[in-house]
Amino acid sequence: MRSILVLILSIICLPAISQLERKYISKGTDSYNQKLYKAAEDYYRKALENDPESFKAAYNIGNALFKQGKFEMATKQYEGLLERPNSREQLAQIYHNIGNSYLEQNKLDESIEAYKNALRNNPGNSDTQYNLSFALLLKQQQEQQNQNQQCNNPNQDQNQDQNQDQNQDQQNNGDNQQKDKNYDDADGDGIPDDVEKGENPGKPRDTDKDGTPDYQDTDSDNDGLPDEHEAGADPSEPKDTDKDGLPDYRDTDSDNDGTPDGQDEDSVQEIKMSKEDAERLLKMLMEKEQETLDKVNKEKQKQVKVKTEKDW
């Protein structure tokens, strides 16, 4: 009799638990679409507490973590979903987002492998194909950068002792420059503090009204895209894509297409990387490569010239 009563109570409770799970997922999705990603994460976790087997809740926690810039945590969250039975479509979504999370951590090999696994489960996904091509291109650029360093400074090891004092001076100068940069760029996004503070430095601008002024906020408009990515090639004059007078890092719809920057069409979708974001990341990498080459050339000019025989 007691076992029958327990069974009856279990049958009654199941619908209630399911309703709570859907309720919290719905609230999480509302918060997610409003770019309140921490609140969304909390709601999704409550949904998971009510239904530990909920794929949507667990998957959306990963999305919310990703949007908060917690890429390592997002990776672990997505990878945890691989341990449960999934359809090929779900596996493709999971691997796609794992690829994006690794890409944001500059772990290119892991990112490439994740995109390949996504395509093994869903070969026709154009977004994954694009992201895989982009990751491969980044890896190629990185390898080329390493080759250029070696080619432009072949005697680095041989001249190390000879130039130790010069390198130490250069390092000290570099440290001083970095300190100056940190002083002028509190959040390290490349945009000078005086630009981010606005016209009234005594009352610094706070675009998203979150209590953290722009010059200390790495995502001033809270659109999920870091300011350093949105600032463009010359952060001292931040990019303004739609020419509306509001720079991208303060504009939640920087291309004026009616869709807020960084917002997904559906909370249970792959985190997509726009072509513009990809090009911006690539451009940043190329700029870093040029900075490295300039640094190497500068070091070479300081070195004592040694005549060497050419091996023809």
Domain ranges of the chain: 9-145, 188-264+276-285
For residues 267 and 97, what is the distance between their CA atoms, to the nearest angstrom? Answer: 13
Mean pLDDT, each 10-residue run in order, the chain (312 residues): 45 58 92 94 94 92 94 95 87 94 94 94 89 90 79 56 54 47 68 86 86 83 72 76 82 73 47 56 60 60 39 30
Structural contact between residues 220 and 231, judged by C-beta atoms closer than 8 angstroms: no
Return the sign of the alpha-carbon dihedral for residues 171, 172, 178, 181.
negative
CA distance to 47, 174, 190, per residue, from 265 (Å) = 21, 45, 30
For residues 312 and 296, what is the distance between their CA atoms, to the nearest angstrom? Answer: 25
User: What tokens appear for 109 in the block?
Assistant: 């090999």
- The C-alpha angle with vertex 262 and arms to 258 and 265, in degrees rounded to 5, equals 65
158 DSSP 8-state letter: T
User: What tokens appear for 295 in the block?
Assistant: 């640094």
Rg (CA), the chain: 25
For residues 273 and 16, what is the distance between their CA atoms, to the nearest angstrom? Answer: 38
**pLDDT score, position 220:** 80
The 10 Å CB-count burial string (b at 16+, else e) for 206-219 is bbbeeebbbbebeb
**pLDDT score, position 102:** 95
In total, the chain counts a number of residues equal to: 312
For residues 230 and 132, what is the distance between their CA atoms, to the nearest angstrom? Answer: 22
For residues 204 and 223, what is the distance between their CA atoms, to the nearest angstrom? Answer: 20
Q: What is the domain class of 9-145 according to CATH?
A: mainly alpha
Taking alpha carbons only, the member of 272, 271, 270, 267 closest to residue 57 is: 267
Residue 244 three-state SS: coil
Taking the C-alpha atoms of 68, 72, 73 and 77 in order, what is their torsion angle to the nearest 10 degrees? 110
**pLDDT score, position 185:** 81
CA distance to 92, 98, 280, per residue, from 108 (Å) = 18, 11, 17
Structural contact between residues 111 and 102, judged by C-beta atoms closer than 8 angstroms: yes
Axis crossing angle, helix 2-33 with helix 55-67, rounded to the nearest 10:
30
User: What tokens appear for 5 in the block?
Assistant: 């009563």
Return the sign of the alpha-carbon dihedral for residues 200, 203, 206, 207.
negative
Residue 6 three-state SS: helix
Residue 14 three-state SS: helix
User: What tokens appear for 290 in the block?
Assistant: 């040029």
At 216, the amino acid letter reads Q
**pLDDT score, position 6:** 45
Which backbone phi and psi does 38 adopt, to 5 degrees?
-70, -45
